[in-house]
Amino acid sequence: MGGSMTRTQQGMSLIEVMIATFFLTISLLAVAGSMGAGISATYTTQEQLIAKQKAQEALESVVMARNTQQVGFSQIRNVADGGVIVAGFQPIENMGVDGIPNTSDDAGPVETLTYPGPDGKLGTADDVTVPLTNYKRQITITTLTLPADTTIDPDIVRIDVDVQYVVRGVTKTVRVSSYVSRFS
């Protein structure tokens, strides 16, 4: 057949390959960074969950002591105000006989958490026990005033439970608050 066909083949230039490699590298670094942030967030979430649980546990203990009359409503105060709750951040220790955290009868070792060991079963010899030494708890009791004036309401208090914990050298705080009345 009569004509000659010319075909030209062109490949990618070196510059195009370098630019594509650059964008691929940036994309892979972004993915790796987000994976690292996700793993870090998972670790932080576990520590935060423990702090929230310990704060909620303390609040429930105070309310339960009031409900069972373990302590009277007038004793649900900080020590400086004539109550039983020790002021300031305290180590999270085992509760004393009154069943209320952060009171003067709390003594003994710092509380611990037990996780299943390598066999995945809790209650076996390979379980891992972790002391809560990175946690501190503070219970603050605040009196409230009546809405019409500045008279202190004798029938209700505000309870704030703060738990501080340290994650990778950074101190964080979780707060749980509630109002507790004289009446159950």
Tell me the pTM: 0.74
pLDDT tens for 76-123 read 999 999 999 999 999 999 888 888 999 988 877 899 999 899 999 999
User: For residue range 87-98, what is the model confidence (pLDDT) as tens digits?
Assistant: 999 999 988 888
Q: DSSP string of the chain? A: -------------HHHHHHHHHHHHHHHHHHHHHHHHHHHHHHHHHHHHHHHHHHHHHHHHHHHHHHTTSS-GGGSSBGGGTSSBPPS-EE-BPP-TT--TTBTT--SSBPEEEE--TTS-TTSTT-EEEE-TTEEEEEEEEEEE-TTSSPEEEEEEEEEEEEEEEETTEEEEEEEEEEEES--
User: Which pLDDT score is estimated for 5?
Assistant: 65
Sequence ranges of the domains in the chain: 14-181
